[in-house]
């Protein structure tokens, strides 16, 4: 039982372990925090669905180190990100920028929802108006009663 617990505890520690190695970290905690925040927004080009903060790929390591070097050299967050985007393109950003080419991506779902809601509204409105149709004429009432009598 104790062994099982120890094994589980060890598994938990490996889950907690991050890709960022102690040797990579900057001494200045504020600068390191900025680096961590930026690296969570940058895609690892090798794994492509992980941030460079999470990835253990060599290239992710190199990009983390490069990012920290840029910050140490006095780059703002924007400048450091642009430095990497210039080389790898917008694809490196996990959150795509809002620009004409990505308008469909950002606003498409909301536009489709609005379109569907509009259609539903039109449909429902037509249905309620159809409930207000004029009552049956005396002739129609007579026919209806005759039909019902036949059935009964």
What tokens were used for 37? 């925040």
Instruction: Tell me the C-alpha distance between 147 and 141, whole Å.
Output: 10
Q: Smaller CB distance to another protein: residue 89 or 145? A: 89
Q: Smaller CB distance to another protein: residue 62 or 145? A: 62
CB of 6 to another protein, least distance (A): 37
CB of 42 to another protein, least distance (A): 12
What tokens were used for 107? 């606003």
Residues that bind another protein (CB under 8 A): 45-46, 48, 58-59, 62-63, 66, 85-91
Q: Smaller CB distance to another protein: residue 86 or 127? A: 86
CB of 37 to another protein, least distance (A): 21
- Measure the CA angle with vertex 54, ends 51 and 57; round to 5°: 90
Backbone angles phi, psi at 47, to 5 degrees: -90, -30
Residue 81 neighbours by CB under 8 Å, 6+ apart: 38, 41, 42, 93
Report CA 29 to chain centroid distance, whole Å: 29
Q: Smaller CB distance to another protein: residue 2 or 126? A: 126
CB of 83 to another protein, least distance (A): 10
């Amino acid at each position: 039982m104790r062994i099982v617990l120890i094994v589980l505890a060890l598994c938990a520690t490996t889950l907690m372990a991050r890709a960022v190695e102690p040797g990579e970290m900057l001494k200045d905690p504020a600068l390191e925090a900025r680096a961590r925040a930026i690296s969570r927004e940058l895609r690892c080009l090798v794994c492509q669905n992980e941030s460079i903060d999470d990835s253990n790929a060599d290239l992710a390591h190199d990009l983390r180190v490069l990012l920290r070097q840029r910050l140490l050299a006095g780059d703002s967050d924007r400048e450091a990100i642009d430095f990497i985007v210039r080389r790898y393109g917008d694809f490196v950003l996990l959150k795509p920028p809002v620009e004409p080419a990505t308008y469909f991506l950002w606003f498409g779902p909301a536009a489709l929802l609005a379109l569907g809601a509009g259609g539903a509204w039109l449909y429902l409105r037509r249905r309620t108006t159809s409930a207000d149709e004029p009552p049956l004429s005396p002739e129609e009432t007579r026919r209806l009663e005759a039909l019902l009598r036949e059935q009964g």
